[in-house]
Structure 1
Amino acid sequence: MIDLLLALWPLFALIVGGYALRRWDFPGDAFWPAAERLNYFILFPALLFSSLASAPLDNPALPRLAMAVMFGLGLAWLALLLAKRLCGWPAGRFGAITQGILRFNTYLGLAAVASLFGKEGLTLAALMLALMVPTVNVMSVWALTAERGVSLRSLLLPVLKNPLIFACVAGALVNLSGLGLPGGTDRLLGLLAAASLPLGLLCVGAALRPQELAGEVPTLAWNCALRLLAMPLLAFAAARIVGLPPMESGVLVLFFALPTAPTAYVLTRQLGGDSHLMAGIITLQTLLAAGSLLLVLLMLGAA
């Protein structure tokens, strides 16, 4: 337990630090959107690209890991569609609820994986992201726009424009080509990647909106329970079904136990969803994740 605490508390300290800096208006309101864009378009893609460019793609467990990812997401998606039909949620509300359960905080996930599993775990996480990011993005856009009618173009365009997907694909292609990262390129990408996760966690904290927690307490409570507790249990079951090795199982369960992504708020506002509910879900899940992640990882270690 002490090792888990030592691995996780610095990550949440950065999130709290980002929230405090935003409240103190330092270094200014203009900094945070610019920092998020820098991280999203440059620093974080550099981390994913460099991880996949040198990843051991011959790992025999990778096909089973992909199966477990798609099984978990697919089953959760079918359950959400059934719940929408039974509860009659409008698209704006369904989109917020769906993102609360399916999306994940990538910065926190990769930082936690790096702390707990090292470079090998980071490589597995990057490979998972190549599957999870486009799948979850398509599901999120469909959930928010289905009632208005959705075209194939509107579903796929956000995926094709996503720099994280581009970085994953480019890194995998460089890996398969055998070119590697010559001439100090690996060092350059390493320097960019090193700045990504701390800055990303600070931005996560800066995006928290505690004032949005009022008025939706029951919905917030069960959404958080499903995301932070039920989803990792689903991932653990999927890992057992396909027979994943311990490290692959740990990375899978960890990603399914993460709080939802702060960028879900931006997508919800852009597509006319319930942004008040989405902001509350993001904030409460992020706050509760400090305890739930520790609980899930302790249960995983005891299993």
Structure 2
Amino acid sequence: MYRVTSLLLALWPLFALIIAGYILRLREFPNEAFWPGAERINYFVLFPALLFSSLATAPLDNPALPRLAAAVLLALGLAWVVLLIMKRLRGWSAARFGAFAQGTLRFNTYLGLAAVGSLFGQDGLAMAALMLALMVPTVNVMSVWALTAERGVSARGLLLPIAKNPLIVACVTGALINLSGLGLPGGTDRLLGLLAAASLPLGLLCVGAALKPKELGGEIPALGWNSALRLLAVPLLAFAVAHLLQLPAMETTIIVLFFALPTAPTAYVLTRQLGGDSHLMAGIITLQTLLAAASLPLVLTLLER
């Protein structure tokens, strides 16, 4: 009972910020132009600072890292195979398959790191940043391919967005600084810490501001099964893989948590850019984010038993 209470105490402020973001945008406060600018400064400055500083000081000699990397890639690979089989059986177009694939594979990074930080502190954030270094590029490649499968995409078209992604650049440079032994001297750690501290609260407010309840109509069955797949079935798969590879308790919880997160709001932007079903994608993002307030505590509570 104590663990459940601690879990709820760690998670409810995160969803309170999401709701606050939705209400603020609904009330047009401070104004409509604020939210796109807030998202950009977080995506290009504040959030990369968090990932860079976390990886620059992460314990890369952790003996569980190879198994954690294997678990992440194996779980993503198995989920991808299931999606490809479903596409073949259901005959989905790339426009719909891209939305379903992102709804199943992508994850809300802001919510994930905020939850890990609340549960495990800096040690958990470092481990989560290492996971992101693997998951972000892999999921981005899968998402782009899913949305462009019918018309084809070149290797350049797949890899260039990854090479330009500020989150991936931050992960790679942070890891290189770590391996070089340079550290973060001269107050650099403090500067990055200040930037990082602003990232997660602002990110969660932006998640709430991006919710589109009006997009929930018309696709209820599709939204329902995709949300159940993402929020319940995929974390169960991640737990099975973590158990198979005998990951330690903290690493197991973190990988299950990331596979239990609702999909990323940025999936809507990518879907629109690549000609996918943006109405379906907006509904998936909104419903999963709302349902995650109940499913995430449930999954993590069951994990502790």
Q: TM bucket by the smaller chain? A: over 0.9
From 83, 87, 99, give the equivalent of 1:84: 87
Q: Report the Cα distance in structure 2 between the residues aligned to 1:157 and 1:87, rounded to whole angstroms.
A: 31
- Following TM superposition, by how much is the alpha carbon of 1:43 offset from its aligned partner in structure 2, in angstroms? 0.1
Quote the RMSD (CA, aligned, Å).
0.4
Instruction: Measure the CA separation in 1 of the matches of 2:15 and 2:285.
Output: 15
1:282 paired residue number: 285
Aligned residues: 302
* Unmatched 5+ stretches in structure 1: none
From 67, 71, 80, give the equivalent of 1:68. Answer: 71
Consecutive unaligned residues of structure 2, counting only runs of 5 or more, are none
Match for 2:74: what amino acid?
F
How far residue 245 of structure 1 moved from its aligned partner, in angstroms, is 0.3
Equivalent in the alignment of 1:265: 268
Of 97, 100, 112, the residue aligned with 1:94 is: 97
1:147 match: secondary structure = coil
2:31 aligned with 1:47: no
Deviations 1:33-70 (A, max 9, x none): 00000000000000000000001100000000000000
Are residue 196 (structure 1) and residue 199 (structure 2) matched? Answer: yes
- Structure 1 segment 200-211 matched on structure 2, within 5 A: 200-211=203-214
Q: Which amino acid aligns with 1:152?
A: A
Shift of residue 157, structure 1, vs aligned partner: 1.0
TM-score under structure 1 length normalisation: 0.99
Q: Give the secondary-structure state (helix, strand or coil) at the position aligned to 1:175.
A: helix
Deviation of residue 148 (structure 1)?
A: 0.7
Q: Which runs of 4+ in 1 moved over 3 A?
A: none
The alpha carbon displacement at 1:117 in A equals 1.1
Residue 34 of structure 2 is matched in structure 1 by 31
Kindly indicate whether residue 121 of structure 2 is the aligned counterpart of residue 118 of structure 1.
yes
1:14 counterpart residue number:
17
Query: Residue type of the partner of 1:92?
Result: A
The CA distance in 2 between the partners of 1:195 and 1:252, in whole Å, is 24
Post-superposition shift, 1:204? Answer: 0.1
Q: Cα deviations across residues 120-171 of structure 1 (Å, max 9, x unaligned)?
A: 1111100000000000000000000010111101111110110000000000
Output aligned runs, 1:147-158, within 5 Å: 147-158=150-161
So what's the TM-score if we normalise by structure 2? 0.99
Alpha-carbon distance in structure 1 between the residues aligned to 2:44 and 2:117: 21
Counterpart for residue 58 of structure 1: 61
- Match for residue 300 of structure 2? 297
**Cα displacement (A) at 1:90:** 0.2
